[in-house]
Amino acid sequence: MAQLYTSGNWIAKQGREMDFIAAWRDFAEWTHREVGIQNAKLLRDSGDPRRFLSFGPWDSLENIERWRSLPGFQERIGKMRELLEDFEGRTLEVVAEVGGS
């Protein structure tokens, strides 16, 4: 089975970037506690400080689905949406890789 990742493309409302970063960190820490993900990363576009990309690896589609069904998931996504102009989430699988271990 291919390695799975979840990702999010986020556009923060003007002036709410730091609030979004704090809310995303809370969401990622909650996810780590609830389902034991190893890591998650939030990157900011160097050309547009309102645009962000997040991603993290998962061990199974079942764990992704379980995470998304937890009561705290919708609550935290809802809090972040208040800070956003747009959001798009995805589940991705690795189809090619160069380097690494």
Give the pLDDT confidence of 49-71 residue by residue, as tens digits.
Answer: 999 999 999 999 999 999 999 99
Q: Tell me whether residue 71 is in a domain.
A: yes
101 pLDDT band, cuts 50/70/90, is low
Q: Tell me whether residue 34 is in a domain.
A: yes
One-letter amino acid at 21 equals: I
Q: Tell me whether residue 28 is in a domain.
A: yes
Total structural domains within the chain: 1
Instruction: Show the domain range for 27.
Output: 4-93
CATH assignment of the domain containing 77: 3.30.70.100
Q: Tell me whether residue 99 is in a domain.
A: no
Q: Tell me whether residue 98 is in a domain.
A: no
Rounded to two decimals, the pTM is 0.92
Cβ–Cβ under 8 Å, residues 12 and 83: yes
Q: Tell me whether residue 25 is in a domain.
A: yes
Long-range contacts of 43-50 (CB under 8 A, 24+ apart): 44/17, 49/17, 50/11, 50/12, 50/13, 50/14, 50/17, 50/85
